[in-house]
Amino acid sequence: MGIYKTKQKSNVLKILSDNIDKELTISQIKEIADQMDMKLGLTTIYRGLDELEKMNQIRKTVRPNGEAEYQLVQEECFHHFHMKCSSCGKLIHLDCSEVDLLMEHISKKHAFHIDSISTTIMGVCDSCYREEAN
């Protein structure tokens, strides 16, 4: 991550790893940093995340309103899809052999090379679906 090792960069990484199960927006990261008295400037957060993205250490997705959100990727993330509930925001890592087969099918029969990090299957998770039914 860059050339120098700084407190700010490790703080950005810490916030991301403390929230490994969530996708965080820049402003959420800023808020968390403020709460922890980290003194992280907005610009620094943007630049730190850019570096991490170039090193493929984070997944960047863009919300419908144009705001970006970020999440530290784990090794498995390169090999599975992510499903996101548009109602509660929950992110589900889809480890499933049937999905693997489909990715292979798409690669071989449709000649398309999927980038699973950039792909998010959108929808509604079961608990939100039941709530909406009420």
Q: Which residues bind its own copies (CB under 8 A)?
A: 60, 62-64, 66-68, 83, 85-86, 92, 94, 96, 98-99, 102, 105-106, 109-115, 118-126, 129
Binder of DNA out of 31, 34, 39, 95 (CB under 7 A): 39
CA distances from 130 to 46, 53, 120 (A): 38, 36, 22
Q: Which is nearer to its own copies, 75 or 115 (CB)?
A: 115
Q: 6 is written with which tokens?
A: 């700084």
DSSP state at residue 37: T
Number of residues in contact with DNA under rule CB under 7 A: 25
3-state secondary structure of 93: strand
* 80/99 Cα distance (integer angstroms): 8
Of 40-48, 95-103, 105-113, 122-130, which part binds DNA (CB under 7 A)?
A: 40-48
DSSP element (H, E) containing 42: helix 42-54
Residues interacting with DNA, by CB under 7 A? 2-9, 25-27, 39-44, 46-48, 50, 65-68
